[in-house]
Structure 1
Amino acid sequence: MKIVKRILKFVFALIGLLVLIGIITLWIDSSGTNYLKINKNESGSNNSYLIKNVNVIPMNQDTVLVDKMVYIKDGIIEKIADTIEVNGIEIFDAENKYLTPGLIDMHVHVWDRYELGLYLSNGVTAVRNLWGMPMHLRIKEDVVEENIFAPSFFTTGPKLTGSEFIGDDNLNLLNPSEAKDKVISYKERGYDFIKTYYGLDKEIFDAVIEQAKISELDIVAHPSQKVPFSYHLNTQIKSIEHTEEIVQQPLQFDLDTIKLQPIIDSISKSKHTRYCPTITVFHNIYQMMMNDSILNSEYLEYMNPLIKKTDSKKQFERWFNAKQKDPSIVERIKKQHDFHIAIVKKLHEAGVTIICGTDAGIGVTLPGFSIHKELAFYKEAGLSNYEVLKTATVNASQTHAMMNQLGTIEEGKIANLLLVDDSPLVDLSSLQTPTYVFVKGRKLNRENLDSFNEKSKNRKNLVATALRYLENLVIEK
C-alpha cells in the first residue's frame, strides 16, 4: 500500500512539474511579444490627430481625393475636407503621400502573436481566421480591448466536418443534434463565424445552416464533397473558399472552360455569394516542386516553427516524392494554377464579388507577405488595380455585418489605414512596404514595422505553440 501511495505521489508531483513547466513556457512566449503591447500612457498610443497634405484613395469610388486633410478622433475617421481646423490636436504631415484603407486577408490561420506583427508590417490591418481555437478567443479579446497592436481580428470556431475522421484538426460531428449544440456553443463562447469543411453530409450540414441562422452566425464554407457544389450557395453561407475546390469537386479535375461556365453562372446568379480564391496557397505547391531547398530558405524564417517542422515539411515531402515518381506532375500543377487564374477571370466577368484570402499559416504560405502575391494573381486575371484593391478592402469589409466599419476611408469608419509613397491605383507594389500603418488610429512607422519582422524571424516557440494546440485538442474534442 505504501508503495502505491509513493507511486501516486510521484505521478502527481511529475504532473504538477509538467504543468508548471508548461505555464513557464507559455509565459516566456507571451513575454516575447510584449513589443505589441499598447501602453496608453506613452506617446505613440495617441489615436486622435489631424493628417494634412494627403492624397486619399477612399475605395468607395474609383478616384483620388487630392491634397486633403483627414481628422481622426479616438480611432475613428471624423472628417475629410480641404481644410479642417481643430484646436489642441497633433498635426501629422503626410507629405503628399497616399492614404488607403488597410488590407484585409479573409482566409488565414494564426498560430501565434508574432504573426500579428507580420500582418501589420505588410499592411494587413484586419484578418479573418478560419481555424478557431481557444487561443484565438484570447487574441480577439486583447484586440477588442486595444491591449495590443494587431489587425482587427475575426475568427470562426473549429472546422466542422462529418463523422469520418480526416485529421485531429477538425471537429467531427456525428449527428444533427450535436451540430446544433456546437453552433450554439461557439456563439456563446465568442467565435464570430462558423467554418464548414470537407466531409459534411447533407443531414448534418442542414442542421448547421439551420442553427447558424437562428444564432445569427455567418457561415464560411470550404466546400464539402458530400453535397453538390451548388449546395454552398445557401444565403447563410457568406463566402466559398478556394478556386481549387471548383476543379476538384464539380469539374473532377477536368480543366475545361466549357464545363466551368455553368458553375460560374450558378455562383453569379446567387448574388449574395462571395468567392475567396486563395490562389497563392495552391501556387506554392508549384514553388515547392521548383525549389528543393525551400524549407531552408530565408523565406521560411518567418513561419511558425511548429508549422514549419510539421505541416511545411509534410507538404514539401509529399510533392517532392510525387515529382520523383512522376516528373510530369510539375506541369500538371502549373496548368491547374493557370486554370485557377482563368476561374478568377470568369468569376469577375460574371459579376461575382471576389474577396482576397491567402490561406496564410499553412504549408509555405507566409502570414502577411503572401497577400501581395495573391493581389498580383488577381491583376494577372485581368482585374484593374482598383478592382484588385477592392478585393482586400471594400469587398472584404462588406462580407459580414461586423466588418462593415472597415474597408473604406469615409467619415465614421475605423481608422485602419496605410500611408504609401505611390498610388496603388498605378502600382500595386507600393502596398508592400507602407510608410505608416494605422491601427484604430494609432500609427506605426516603418521602423516599428520592420522590427516586427525581425522579432518574428526564427522565433523559438515550437513548444509553446504545441501546448496551445494541445489545449485546443483537450477543450474542443
Structure 2
Amino acid sequence: MVVKKWLRRIGTVMGGLILLVAIAIVLILWLDSRHTSYLRIRDTNNSFVLTNVNIVPMTADTVLYGQRILVKNGEIMEIAPTIDGGPYKRIDGKGRFVTPGLADMHVHIWDDYELGLYLSKGVTTVRNMWGMPFHLRMKERISNNDIYAPLFFTASPKLTGPDDGGIDKKQVKDAQDARSLVVRYKEQGYDYIKTYAGLPQAIFDAIKDEATAQHITLASHPSFEVPYDYHFSKPIKSLEHTEDIVQQVLDFKQDSILLQSTIDAYVLNKMAHTPTLTVFHKIVEIIKKDSLLLKQHGIGYMNPAFLEFGAKDDYNRWTSTKLYEPEVGNRIKKQHQHHLQIVKQMNDAGVTLIAGTDSGISYAIPGFGIHEELGFYIDAGLSNYEALRTATVNPSKVYKELAETGTLENGKLANMILVKDNPLENLETLETPEAVFIKGHPLDTKTLTQFQTKAFRRGNYWSTLVRLGEGLLFQ
C-alpha cells in the first residue's frame, strides 16, 4: 500500500511537471508568434500599375527603358511603354530599374524573422534544405498568404545511412525503411527528399526508385558512399556544393582531365549545380578575423540558438585548427580560388548553375548571403548577366514549381525588385532594394527596413530550441 501511495504521488508530480512544460512551450511559441506579427498580410490588394521604370527582364542581356507593368492579383498581365490600367492604383518607379526577385536555392531557415530578412534583401524564393515539422506549418501559412515571405519550398529531413551518426540526420536502416520514409515525407508535404553524405548504394537506390514512383525529386548533398557520377540520374535535378567536387572527385588535386570529365557529365546528364561558395568562404573569415568576426554587425542577424549550438562549433574547429596548422588559412584560400575556377569552367561549358548560399548555418547571413554568392561568381569571371541568371532564370528552368518566376514577362508572378541602378552594370545595387514585390504585394523601403530591424538580435532563443527539439524527435 505504501509503495502504491508513493507511486501515485510520483505520478502526480510527473504529470504536473509535464503539464507545466507543455504550458511553457505553448507560451514561448505564442509570444514568438506575437513578436513576428509584423509579417502578417493586412492589405490584400496586389493589383497595380508600376510606371516609369526600366525593366531588366532576364529573358536576354538587355534593358527595356521607359516601361510600365500592369499587375493583376499578383500576376504580370502586360508590359508596355503606355498602359491605361483603369481603376488600378499607380506606383511611380521614378526611373529606377526592375529585375526579377532573387532565388536562394540552398538555405536553412530557423524562424519567421528570417523570412522578412530575405525579402528585405530582394530574395523572393528560398529552398530550405533541412526540413522539420515547423517548416511544413510555415509553408502552409505562406501558401495561404497569411504572412509576407518568399516563395517557400522545403526538403525533408536529411536521409543518411545507418553508419552515419549525428542528431541532425535521419539514419535509414535499410531499403524498406528508405521507401517508407519517402512515402511518409511526400504525404506530409515536403517538396523534396534530402539525401545526405552517408547513404550506401542499396539504400540510395531504394530512395531514388520510391521517389520516382512518388513523383518527388531529390535534393542531394553528394554521398561519399557511392561514386560521384552515381548522382547523375533521376530523380536528382541538382547537386550541391562545389567543395564536394574538390573533395570527392578531385581528392583536393588540380586534375584538369578528371574535372573536365565531371563537367562533361554534368552537361550530358543536364544536371544543375549549386555552388554554395558563401558558406565555405566563412571558414576563411573565421581563420582570418578570429574573435573580431563575432563582433561584426551582420552576426546580429543570425538566429541566436543556432549561433550557440551550430556556428560556435565551426568557430571552435577552425580557430583551434590554426593553432597546430598555421598554414590552414592559405590552404582554405587556395581551395576557395579552386572553387572559383570550377564555377567559371562549369558556366563556360553550359552547366546550369543555381545560386545557393547555405545561409542560416555557420556565419552565412540570411538574405545578405545571396549578394556575397553573386559577388563570388563575378570574382570567378562570370558577367553580371550570367551571375544574375543563377538567381533568377536558372532555378525556374530546373524546377517546374518555379516556372512562373525568374523573368519579367506576361503571365509570370510579380516577384520583383526595384533598385536604383542597372544591375547589369552595377550588381551591388541589388543589395539595397528601394522596393520589393512579392506575389504583387508592394513592400516599400520603410517596410523592408522594419523587416531587418526586427530580425536584428532577436530574442527567440527558446522558441528556436522548442522547434528544433520537435524536429529532432519527429524527423
Gaps of 5+ in 1: none
Q: Does 1:321 align with 2:324?
A: no
Residue 167 of structure 2 aligns to a residue whose secondary structure is coil
Residue 249 of structure 1 aligns to a residue whose secondary structure is helix
Alignment CA distance shift 1:391-1:2 (3 Å)? same
How well do the aligned residues superpose, as a CA RMSD in angstroms?
1.0
Residue 80 of structure 1 aligns to a residue whose secondary structure is strand
Matched to 1:433, the amino acid is: T
2:219–2:238 CA contact under 8 A, matched in 1: yes
In structure 2, what is the equivalent of residue 475 of structure 1? 474
Residue 19 of structure 2 aligns to a residue whose secondary structure is helix
Q: Please state how far the C-alpha of 1:257 moved relative to its aligned partner.
A: 3.0
Please list, as runs of the form range in 1=range in 2, the aligned pairs for 1:347-358 lying within 5 A after superposition: 347-358=346-357
In structure 1, what is the equivalent of residue 276 of structure 2? 278
Please list, as runs of the form range in 1=range in 2, the aligned pairs for 1:298-447 lying within 5 A after superposition: 298-447=297-446
Residue 322 of structure 1 aligns to a residue whose secondary structure is helix
Pairs aligned (count): 471
Residue 249 of structure 2 aligns to a residue whose secondary structure is coil
2:212–2:234 CA contact under 8 A, matched in 1: no
1:240–1:275 CA contact under 8 A, matched in 2: yes
Q: Please state how far the C-alpha of 1:136 moved relative to its aligned partner.
A: 0.6
1:5 and 1:165 map into 2 onto residues whose CA distance is: 42
In structure 2, what is the equivalent of residue 287 of structure 1? 285
Q: Please state how far the C-alpha of 1:166 moved relative to its aligned partner.
A: 2.5
2:397 and 2:259 map into 1 onto residues whose CA distance is: 27
CA deviation vs aligned residue, 1:204-259 (integer Å, no higher than 9, x gap): 11111111111111111110010100011103111000000001111112233343
Residue 474 of structure 2 aligns to a residue whose secondary structure is helix
1:362 and 1:336 map into 2 onto residues whose CA distance is: 20
CA deviation vs aligned residue, 1:345-377 (integer Å, no higher than 9, x gap): 110111101000000000001100011010011
2:20 and 2:84 map into 1 onto residues whose CA distance is: 61
Residue 425 of structure 1 aligns to a residue whose secondary structure is coil
1:440 and 1:458 map into 2 onto residues whose CA distance is: 28
2:379 and 2:234 map into 1 onto residues whose CA distance is: 30
Matched to 1:30, the amino acid is: S
Deviates more, 1:236-245 or 1:393-402: 393-402
CA deviation vs aligned residue, 1:324-352 (integer Å, no higher than 9, x gap): 11111110000000000011011011110
1:295–1:313 CA contact under 8 A, matched in 2: no
Q: Please state how far the C-alpha of 1:165 moved relative to its aligned partner.
A: 3.3
CA deviation vs aligned residue, 1:361-406 (integer Å, no higher than 9, x gap): 0000110001101001111111111111000001012221111111
Matched to 1:224, the amino acid is: S
Q: Does 1:8 align with 2:11?
A: yes
Residue 311 of structure 1 aligns to a residue whose secondary structure is helix
Deviates more, 1:333-342 or 1:376-385: 376-385
Deviates more, 1:254-263 or 1:164-173: 254-263
1:320 and 1:277 map into 2 onto residues whose CA distance is: 25
Residue 397 of structure 1 aligns to a residue whose secondary structure is helix
Matched to 2:298, the amino acid is: Y
2:208–2:234 CA contact under 8 A, matched in 1: no
1:420–1:431 CA contact under 8 A, matched in 2: yes
Gaps of 5+ in 2: none
1:180–1:208 CA contact under 8 A, matched in 2: yes
1:390 and 1:410 map into 2 onto residues whose CA distance is: 15
Matched to 2:49, the amino acid is: L
Matched to 2:29, the amino acid is: L
Q: Please state how far the C-alpha of 1:202 moved relative to its aligned partner.
A: 0.7
2:313 and 2:472 map into 1 onto residues whose CA distance is: 20
Residue 353 of structure 1 aligns to a residue whose secondary structure is coil
